């Protein structure tokens, strides 16, 4: 479909916007359309016909407007009868906003037939209408009620995910309380309490394989759990 659209644009006749006849040359400015969509392109062609050869000096930026982006195509030269020549170059513009958008082209300087004198070529600003692809919606038109979006189910946490952190806490607590018990800095009852806290971390994290049978009966009651 895109290829067909491009072929239709290439076959469509160009619109002659302006024609100038300075000296022995004939200069024309043509566009493919005066109205384009915001996602479309505007093709502007500048042509000069005169005695061969034709030397044209095109500015690096065809326009200084910030409302357009431009892509310059390579120039083309064709021979005409009577020792004349046709030079043309096409510029592809893409709009940045909708509505009436002005396009001012920068001047082009050219020479024909080995002339020493350079001719300036200036054009009037183009008025292009840019339309949006999305049509204005009728606020009074009835619209269907959308359903409530359902959130995806949260994945169930596996107990093995908590094994690493809980094991690290348990080992650290056992080392600390074991070292302090050897140095007799704290009584042995505190060491047993540290072991109970470590086991409680296994229980609260979802690890169902804590050694409940080896703990005192009153341990699980402290944490609101039934005794083994």
Q: Which residues are bridge partners to 11 per DSSP? A: none
Domain boundary among 131, 146, 171: 131
Q: Is residue 93 assigned to a domain?
A: yes
Q: Are residues 214 and 168 in the same domain?
A: yes
What tokens appear for 205 in the block? Answer: 């994290």
Query: pLDDT digits over 50-106, tens only?
Result: 999 999 999 999 999 999 999 999 999 999 999 999 999 999 999 999 999 999 999
pTM of the model: 0.53
Overall number of domains in the chain: 2
CATH number of 114's domain? 2.60.40
Walking along the chain (228 residues) 10 residues at a time, the average pLDDT comes out as: 44 71 91 91 94 93 93 94 94 94 94 90 92 65 67 59 67 68 53 56 48 51 55
Contacts of 131 (CB under 8 A, 6+ apart): 35, 36, 37, 38, 98
**Which residues span the domain enclosing 72?**
11-131
Tell me which DSSP letter residue 21 carries. -
């Amino acid at each position: 479909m895109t290829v067909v659209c491009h072929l239709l644009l290439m076959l469509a006749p160009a619109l002659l916007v302006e024609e100038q006849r300075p000296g022995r040359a004939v200069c024309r400015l043509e566009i493919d359309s005066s109205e384009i969509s915001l996602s479309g392109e505007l093709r502007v062609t500048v042509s000069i016909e005169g005695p061969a050869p034709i030397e044209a000096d095109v500015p690096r930026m065809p326009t200084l407007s910030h409302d357009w982006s431009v892509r310059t195509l390579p120039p083309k030269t064709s021979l005409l009868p009577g020792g004349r020549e046709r030079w043309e170059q096409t510029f592809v513009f893409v709009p940045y906003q909708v509505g009436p958008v002005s396009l001012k082209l920068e001047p082009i300087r050219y020479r024909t037939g080995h002339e020493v004198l350079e001719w300036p070529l200036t054009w009037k600003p183009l008025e292009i209408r840019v339309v949006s692809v999305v049509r204005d919606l009728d606020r009074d038109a009835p619209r269907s009620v959308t359903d409530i979006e359902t959130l995806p189910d949260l994945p169930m946490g596996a107990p093995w995910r908590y094994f690493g952190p809980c094991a690290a806490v348990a080992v650290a607590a056992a080392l600390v309380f074991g070292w302090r018990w050897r140095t007799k800095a704290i009584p042995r009852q505190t060491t047993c309490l540290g072991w109970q806290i470590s086991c409680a971390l296994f229980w609260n994290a979802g690890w169902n394989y804590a050694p409940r049978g080896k703990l005192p009966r009153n341990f699980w009651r402290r944490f609101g759990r039934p005794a083994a």
